[in-house]
Each structure stands twice: as C-alpha cells, then as structure tokens.
Amino acid sequence: MSTTGFAMRHHTHTVTVSHADSMVRIGGSHPVVVQSMTNTDTVDALGTALQVKELAMAGSELVRITVNSPEAAAAVPYIREQLDKMGVYVPLVGDFHYNGHKLLTDYPDCAQALSKYRINPGNVGKGAKKDAQFAQMIEVAAKYDKPVRIGVNWGSLDQSVLARIMDDNAQRSAPWTAQQVMTEALIASALESAQAAQDIGLAENKIVISCKVSNVQDLVAVYQQLAQRCHYALHLGLTEAGMGSKGIVASTAALSVLLQQGIGDTIRVSLTPEPNGSRSTEVVVAQEILQTMGFRQFTPMVVACPGCGRTTSTVFQELASDIQTYLREQMPVWKNQYAGVEGMTVAVMGCVVNGPGESKHANIGISLPGTGETPAAPVFVDGERTVTLKGDNIAVEFQAIVQAYIEK
C-alpha cells in the first residue's frame, strides 16, 4: 500500500526551470523535484562539470553551483558548454552572495548560461545599497526570463529585518518566544523580498522561496507558517544537516513531516560528505525519502530483511546489496532508459520465516536458506514460484533473472 500525498498538497505556483530540451517544473501538482549542489571550486570548470554530471546521473534534476567571484562567473558558460557536449542538459542554478549584482551584470554570458539564480536577501548588501543591489539582480532575471529562488537562511538572516521584528515584539502585550521571533523574521525576509521582486517585474511563477534552519522542529514550524501565508513554490532543506547517519536522519525527519503535510515542491538533502565519500549520496538520500514515502518512483525498490540468528552467513546481505547497486547502475535517471519499471520491488530475504511471503508480494523475490534449512533458494516472479536456485552461483543467477525481467 502507498499514498500519493498529492491530494493534500499545498497549492503553489508552478515554476519552470529549463535548459535546452530539459524542462523541470517546480510546484503546482508536479512531482517533488530533487536537487543538489556541487562542492568544487567553480573556477575549476572541468572538475565542476564532471561533478555536475555525477550528480545528474545520480538523479539530481537541478544542480546548483556557487558563483562567488569574477573568475567563477567567467567559468560558468564553459561549464555549461562542457555539460552540453557530454549530453548532460541538467539545468544549472547559480548561487550568489554579496557580489551577485555585479557578477550577473558584468558577466552576461554567465547570467544566460544559468537556468535559475539563488539570491540570499541577507547577503545582498546593507543599508541604502541593499534595495538597489537586489533590484539589479532581479532586473537581470527578468531580462533573461530566469526564475529566482529567494533563499533565506537563519545563519545569514537580514539583520535589519530581525531588528525590526524584535522591536515590534518588544511592543507586544504578549511577546513572542525566541522561536516565534526567529520564524517571523525568516518568513518576513522571504516574503518581503519576493514581493519586492514582483514589484520590480518578476512574475510570481518565477519565484521559489526557501527559509532554511538547522533544527528539525524549527524547520517544520517555519514551513508550516510559510505554506499558510503564500503560494510561492517552496524549496525544502534542513541546512547544515551534518554528516553520516545524523545528517540523513535529521533531514529525513524534517522533510518527511512537511512532505506528508503536502508542503514542499523541491528538496535538497544537505549532507556533509564523509572524507572520500561520494557527493551524490545526498541525491540518493533525497530520492529514497521521496520513494519510500510513496511520492515518487526512481528505481526498483529492494526489500531485504535485517537478518537474525537464523542466518549465519552474509550471503543474503551481500546479495541484497549487490542487487541494489546493480539496479541503480542499470537505471541512470538522466537517461530514463528503463522508464516504467521504476516502481518494481525486489525482495531478498534471509530464511523461510518471512522469505516466501515477502517474495510473493514483490515483483521478484528470493528466499535464501537460513540455518538448518535445505540449501535451496526459491525464486518468485509476480507472485509465482518459478525456479529454485542451488549451489555457489545463486547471486549471479538471481541477478540474471532480475535483468531478464527488466528487459521483458
């Protein structure tokens, strides 16, 4: 059983982000979009293009790159060109802070090569310059017909907005808590900037909003209010989620609560990569959040039991892992070459207790022999027992059955 969740989806305007024939729609009733960000120096154009390709092949539907210097801005068109030559048409998003107004104005090729701009209202400038510099960026976006994400972050919140909200709070007969002040300041910064962008000439269907914090409960509170107060497409992400299992669990907890409530049109799982770890892990985690919740289907799902004292060998864990890796490698999302079988389930089970039952419910299942059982592994295809594998080549033979099923 699964739910789509879309019936209760918060209504948002659809924002289209495109490059060449690649068109990604964020918001409305469109599937929640997976995005990620490179961690290469953008000046290293080839290195950045290769990491964008890696992320796109893993399934990132948008990839953001930092544009932090004139050299980086100059590299952007070359990165785009390299990707196009590689046949990778994933839309690129430029991440701008402090000097974005100058870079977008001084490097028109960069402004055109990017498919979307991320603007942090807290890092646009101070005092009188702020409005002018923000307007400069929005005017470039309007000129080149590019959508923009107004990306507010608690770590770089516009201090003038925070000071104003705190002053207002001091006048209240029942003052807000510190969390309510924070929530209001984040939302006010995002919505006031979005309104300013509209006043300058950017349509509401060119605006995506995000208000990122690093605490799960704060993120949920902020986005619940944001959804009540606007219909801009919403980018969800727990910022500075952290490393390893902590980062994965924290992001999953926060995003799942909001997605289940119909809030969120695009997600990024911000993981600190392990030393020598793959950047694309964050893409896989984002996909798995959406797939396990039943919102999207990316690759066949591998169902595997945890193992227990009935399994004394590691054969079934290895087989489950091999099958998961094999299926993911066979189905690069960017090529979409096996579209239609993403929803299939493969069960790899460790013994007779739950093995046959779970295998029958999957499209393909194998029940490996547990301790003391006859050394034979029945295979089920579409609920029917088709063959029993024996011997040392069970893993290879089962993989061949899965491959044949996919091709059929």
Closest C-alpha to 60, from 280, 341, 297: 280
237 contributes a contact to ligand SF4 by CB under 6 A? no
Give CA–CA dist 114/76, Å, rounded. Answer: 8
β-bridge mates for residue 63, sequence order? 36, 92
The interface region with ligand SF4, picked from 59-67, 217-225, 292-300, 343-351 by CB under 6 A, is: 343-351
The interface region with ligand SF4, picked from 17-25, 345-353, 381-389, 399-407 by CB under 6 A, is: 345-353
Give CA–CA dist 53/72, Å, rounded. Answer: 18
359 contributes a contact to ligand SF4 by CB under 6 A? no
Give CA–CA dist 183/189, Å, rounded. Answer: 10
Phi, psi (degrees; rounded to nearest 5) at 278: -85, 135
Which residue is listed with tokens 């964050």? 282
Give CA–CA dist 375/49, Å, rounded. Answer: 49
- In the complex, least distance from residue 311 CB atom to ligand SF4, rounded to whole angstroms: 5
The residue type at 379 = V
Residue 358 is assigned to a ligand binding site: yes
- In the complex, least distance from residue 257 CB atom to ligand SF4, rounded to whole angstroms: 29
The interface region with ligand SF4, picked from 94-102, 161-169, 349-357, 388-396 by CB under 6 A, is: 349-357
In the set 226, 254, 289, 305, which binds ligand SF4 (CB under 6 A)? 305
- Residue 355 in 3-state DSSP? helix
- In the complex, least distance from residue 327 CB atom to ligand SF4, rounded to whole angstroms: 20
In the set 350, 356, 365, 378, which binds ligand SF4 (CB under 6 A)? 350
How would you classify the pairing of strands 148-153 and 116-119? parallel
Chain centroid, CA 249 distance in Å = 15
Binding track, positions 361-400, relative to ligand SF4; x by CB under 6 A: ---------x------------------------------
Closest C-alpha to 234, from 215, 212, 201, 254: 212
- In the complex, least distance from residue 377 CB atom to ligand SF4, rounded to whole angstroms: 13
In the set 275, 306, 340, 372, which binds ligand SF4 (CB under 6 A)? 306
Residue in the shown chain whose Cβ atom is closest to ligand SF4: 350
- In the complex, least distance from residue 294 CB atom to ligand SF4, rounded to whole angstroms: 23
Residues annotated as binding site for [4Fe-4S] cluster?
305, 308, 351, 358
